[in-house]
Structure formats: C-alpha cells, structure tokens
C-alpha cells in the first residue's frame, strides 16, 4: 500500500487552529476540544452575519410602504373622479371665453346659454358702410336672425368633453374674444363662404334682405364709371391726376358685400366695413402702384394752362382738366395725349361760347319790353382754323398764359352767350311799327313811327341782329327785275340811306308815304315796302346824324 502522509500532531493542529480562528469576545474559550471550536469559528467568520439581524420573511413590507400605497390609491381615485366630473360638466357647459352672437357663454349650461344668446339678438341691427356708402338693416325680433338653441347646441357638440383638460387649458389661456357687435366684418370675397353656404334661420328673409342691400349698391354704383381712364382720374381741385380720384370711380362688388353682410348677420356682427376687396378692381386688376405709375406719367403730359380771351374777357380756359379728356391709356397703362380733338373742341367752344352771330339773344328794352331775337349778322365770330393751330402749339409747348381768340367778326362788348353784346343800337319793333335808337348807356336818343316790309307780298323785313353797314346821302334804290322785263322793278332816289342787310335792305326816308301811315301800326300790311324800313323824311335825317356805321340794328316782332 502506498505510504499515507503522516497525521498531524495535536500541537500542529492546535497551532493551525490558533492561526485561523479568532478568539472569542473577551478572550474566553470553550472548555472542550480546541480543534472543534476552531473549525466552528472559521465557519462563523465566513458565513453571513445572521446572528446580528432577525430573519425577514419573503414579501413582508414596512409600515411606511403601506401608507404610500394607500395615498397613491386615494390620489388615483380622486383624479378619476375629477376627470369624470369634468367630462360630465363639459358635456353640457360652455368653456370659458366662449361667445355666440356676441354673448359671453363662459361656464353657462345649455339653457342659460340659449337665453343669453336670445337676449343678445334682441334689437339687432347691421350697418354696411364705407367710402360714402351706407345701408342699415334692423331685425324685427331675435328669432328672425338666429336660432339660439341650435347655435348653442352646435357649440356644445364640439366641446369634446373627453378632452376637457386640454380644451379648458386652451380656453383659459386664450385672449377674450371681442363681442361681435363691437367688431367689423371685412368684405373679402376670397375668405367668405358662398351665399348658399351661409347658415341662417329659416325665419330669416334672405331674399328681401339681399334685394334691399343690392338696390342700395346699384344706386351707389350708378354714380361711378367703374373703369380707369384719364377723365375719371383727373382731380379738378388738385389740377392733376391722382390715385384717390381714380379709385373713387370703383364700383362696389355686389357679390362680396352680399356675402359679407350675410356672414355678419349669421354672427350678429353689427357692422360690415368696406375694404379694398369690397370694390371691383380697375384696369384689369392693376395694383395701386401700377395705377400710380400710370398717373405720374400722365401728369407729365399736361402742362398747358391758357386763358382764351375775347374783347378783354376770358371766354374759356384750356387746362389740365380739358387735356385729361384727350389722354388715353393703352393696355399697359401707358398714357398718350392727342391733339386731334382740339379741332372738335374749338368748334364746340365757338358754337356755345364765342360765336354770337345769328344766335338767340334776350334783352329787356329800357321801356320794359323783353325781346328774344335770333338771326342776323351782328356779333362775335371766331377764326376756328387759326384758333385750332394756336391751341395745338400751346399743348405741344405746355404753354401757360393768355391767348387772344382770332376773330372774323367782333361786337361792341362780350357778356356771354344769349345776352346782348352790343352798345348803341336801333330797335325796330315790327309789331309796334316803331323804331327807337338807344345810346350805349341805354338812353333813348331818337324814335319814330315806321313802315316796314309788306308780309302779304312776301317782302317782310327780316328779323335778327344786324350791323349798320354804311350810311350815305342821296342814293338811288334799285329794285330787282322780278317781272323779268329786263328793267329793275323800281328806281327810287332817297336822301338818307342806312343799309343793314347787305346794301339791299335798310332804313331811309320815304316821301311817298303819307304822314298818317307812319302812325298806323297796321299800315305796313297794305302799304308796306319791299323790305326796307320807311321813315318820315325829318326823322330819317335826325337818325342819319346820330347813328354810326357798325352800330347794331335789331329787327324783331
């Protein structure tokens, strides 16, 4: 057998135990085998120190843990109760800052909310206004403009009570809304629903509402051209083209305003304030800056400002206001000034403001009789061709100042169309068969009975305002050859010849007429002349001495 190792001696074992085992507390030792005690000490040293703490059973908790769990449970129950209560409350209550038809429904239940909305709608009125336009609608009662119950139910249907914590937080943090009756609705067609999409109560008379509003819009638009042109953009007070004047010609956009007005009613807003989008655009939708650029270019073309004078008086003015009518804009809004209309303008000006020859005039004779007469050759007459050239040059050169109207014929004074433009004149009254001569101050200087042309033989003296062409002594009046015998029908010598229609009809002495005929207003119907005005010889001589060539002779009934 193999040799076994020697067993240790008692001393050596004890030495080993002494080295490895600690001494008991206080240095006490057991009274028996040291080896056994040493082994136990060694095991005790390496094992957990269970002898120091009592053993704990699996799953046991401290009293503090029990309290925390209880508190957490109570909190969870409370939160569930609060959430459930919120769901219940906000399923039938309005959130803070909720407004319907201007009524604040914060924290109100359904019935209270309906009552408040209905109260807010009482005496509802809507005003649509801006840029000179104004229209007002007044509701007869609240039910006409709003279904309060439906409006409130619609709000509460969107309350989302399951999400009330988030909804409540947003409502509390949101800025309070202004009441609808303190705000305005803008007529911006791009942001408004179509007419048939705007919800209103069945009791609301939509057709009558729109008919009234549209009638007011049509009346307003009737005064505006709705287009961009030179005449409409020219501001007479400013003396130039202005953007504000151009914009004043915009027409209201009926569709946009109708929609804005109905939206305002649906929300019970008190006003619709017109904005730029309330009007139809000018020049195909050009921006205001584009219109301003076109206006600036047009203003560069109008520098002419001339007064047209005649007889020392200003008859008319050619300025920017008139030139504006001769400016046109192309599709690109480029302005062009044409001088071609100058000719037509001059013709119209001559007819209505300058040429009095043959025009109708009315005057009151110093004895009180009012006379209206037209025709004749006396008065003002312009040289249109020369005037057109002068004005075209003025426009081209942007002339400023006065232009004397070139004339073919002139009168004593200028007082305007339809008024007397003569000084001294001889008034021949065919009805009275009486002639009177007045000086320039209106004083009666001479008068006489007369015999005028016989209307029964087709020789009535022509009526009108004439000019005395000349005056001569000892002339022979030679008649026409109406009987075609090759000789004048008459050759009559007169001492005083004062013609006013060419050299054929005039005033003269008539020795062959009886004195009684000159005082008989009916004598001319049987002893009348061939058209001349017969005078007693002495009265003809007196007139001849005071009347002057160029004096006015007026023949009238």
- Which one has a higher pLDDT value, 6 or 201? 201
Which of 226, 261, 290 terminates a domain? The answer is: 290
433 and 384 fall within a common domain:
no
- Catalytic site residue from 94, 426, 450, 532: 532
117 and 256 fall within a common domain:
yes
**CA–CA dist 549, 469 (Å, integer):** 6
283 and 311 fall within a common domain:
no
Known catalytic residue: 532?
A: yes
Mean pLDDT for 231-254 is: 93
Which of 355, 382, 409 terminates a domain? The answer is: 409
pLDDT tens digit string along 413-440?
998 899 999 999 999 999 999 999 999 9
- Supply the pLDDT for residue 505: 96
The tally of domains found in the chain comes to: 3
Is 522 domain-assigned? yes
Among candidates 456, 409, 433, which has minimal Cα distance to 550? 409
318 and 377 fall within a common domain:
yes
Is 200 domain-assigned? yes
495, 485 in Cβ contact below 8 A? Answer: no
Is 50 domain-assigned? no
Which of 382, 409, 436 terminates a domain? The answer is: 409
Least-confidence region, from 4-8, 307-311, 317-321, 356-360: 4-8
- Supply the pLDDT for residue 288: 92
Is 62 domain-assigned? no
437 and 542 fall within a common domain:
yes
Is 415 domain-assigned? no
What residues make up the domain containing 512?
425-556
Residue 7: pLDDT band with limits 50, 70, 90: very low
Please, what is the end-to-end C-alpha distance for the chain in angstroms?
188
Is 168 domain-assigned? yes
Is 61 domain-assigned? no
- Which one has a higher pLDDT value, 29 or 240? 240
260, 185 in Cβ contact below 8 A? Answer: yes
Known catalytic residue: 76?
A: no
103 and 192 fall within a common domain:
yes
233 and 349 fall within a common domain:
no
CATH code, domain carrying 325: 3.10.20.800
Residue 183: pLDDT band with limits 50, 70, 90: very low
283 and 322 fall within a common domain:
no
The two three-digit tokens of residue 112, written as one number: 């209270």
Mean pLDDT for 317-343 is: 92
pTM exceeds cut of 0.95: no
Share the mean pLDDT of the chain. 85
* CA-to-CA dists, residue 71 to 40, 62, 81, 85, angstroms: 49, 15, 15, 21
307 and 276 fall within a common domain:
no
- Supply the pLDDT for residue 148: 81
pLDDT at 222 > cutoff 60: yes
327 and 456 fall within a common domain:
no
Residue 30: pLDDT band with limits 50, 70, 90: very low
The two three-digit tokens of residue 428, written as one number: 């021949």
Three-class DSSP labels, 414-476: CCCCCCCCCCCEEEEECCCCEEEEECCCCCEEEEEECECECHHHCCCCCCEEEECCCCEEEEE
383 and 270 fall within a common domain:
no
- Catalytic site residue from 508, 530, 552, 556: 508
133 and 209 fall within a common domain:
yes
Is 105 domain-assigned? yes
- Supply the pLDDT for residue 194: 81
């Amino acid at each position: 057998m193999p040799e076994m190792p020697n067993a240790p001696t008692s001393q050596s074992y004890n030495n080993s135990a002494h080295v490895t085992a600690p001494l008991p507390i206080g240095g006490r030792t057991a009274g028996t085998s040291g080896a056994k005690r040493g082994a136990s000490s060694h095991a005790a040293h390496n094992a957990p120190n269970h002898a120091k703490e009592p053993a704990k059973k699996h799953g046991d908790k401290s009293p503090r843990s029990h309290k925390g769990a209880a508190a957490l449970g109570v909190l969870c129950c409370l939160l569930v109760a609060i959430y459930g209560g919120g769901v219940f409350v906000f399923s039938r209550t309005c959130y803070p800052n909720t407004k319907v038809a201007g009524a604040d429904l914060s924290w109100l239940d359904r019935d209270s909310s309906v009552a408040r909305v209905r109260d807010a709608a009482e005496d509802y009125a809507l005003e649509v206004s801006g840029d000179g336009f104004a229209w007002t609608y007044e509701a007869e009662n609240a039910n006409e403009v709003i279904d309060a119950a439906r409006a409130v139910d619609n709000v509460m249907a969107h309350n989302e009570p399951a999400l009330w914590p988030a909804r409540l937080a947003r409502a509390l943090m949101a800025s309070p809304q202004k009441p609808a009756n303190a705000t305005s609705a803008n007529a911006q067609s791009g942001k408004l629903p179509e007419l048939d999409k705007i919800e209103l109560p069945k009791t609301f008379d939509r057709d009558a509402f729109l008919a009234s509003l549209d009638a007011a819009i049509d009346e307003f638009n009737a005064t505006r051209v709705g287009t961009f042109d030179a005449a409409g953009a020219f501001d007479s007070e400013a003396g130039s083209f202005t953007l504000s004047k151009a914009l004043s010609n915009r027409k209201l956009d009926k569709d946009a305003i109708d929609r804005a007005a109905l939206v305002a009613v649906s929300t019970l807003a008190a006003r619709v304030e017109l904005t730029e989008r309330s009007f139809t655009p000018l020049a195909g939708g050009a921006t205001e800056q584009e219109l301003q650029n076109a206006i600036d270019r047009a203003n560069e073309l109008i520098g002419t400002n001339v007064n047209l004078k005649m007889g020392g008086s200003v008859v008319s003015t050619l300025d920017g206001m008139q030139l504006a009518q001769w400016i046109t804009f192309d599709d690109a809004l480029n302005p062009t000034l044409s001088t071609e209309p100058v000719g037509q303008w001059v013709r119209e000006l001559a007819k209505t403001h300058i040429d009095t020859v043959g025009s109708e005039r009315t005057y009151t004779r110093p004895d009180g009789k009012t006379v209206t007469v037209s025709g004749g050759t006396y008065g003002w007459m312009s040289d249109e061709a020369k005037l057109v050239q002068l004005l075209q040059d003025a426009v081209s050169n942007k002339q400023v100042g006065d232009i004397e109207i070139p004339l073919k014929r002139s009168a004593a004074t200028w007082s305007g169309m339809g008024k007397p433009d003569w000084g001294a004149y001889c008034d021949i009254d065919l009805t009275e068969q009486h002639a009177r001569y007045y000086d320039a101050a209106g004083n009666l200087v001479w008068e006489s009975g007369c015999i005028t042309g016989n209307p029964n033989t087709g020789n009535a003296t022509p009526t009108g305002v004439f000019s005395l062409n000349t005056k001569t002594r000892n002339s022979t009046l030679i008649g026409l050859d109406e009987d075609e015998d090759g000789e004048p029908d008459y050759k009559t010598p007169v001492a005083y010849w004062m013609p006013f229609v060419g050299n054929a009809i005039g005033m003269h002495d008539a020795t062959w007429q009886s004195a009684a005929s000159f005082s008989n207003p009916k004598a001319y119907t049987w002893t009348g002349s061939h058209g001349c005005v017969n005078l007693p010889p002495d009265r003809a001589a007196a007139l001849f001495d005071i009347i002057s060539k160029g004096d006015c002779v007026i023949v009238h009934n």
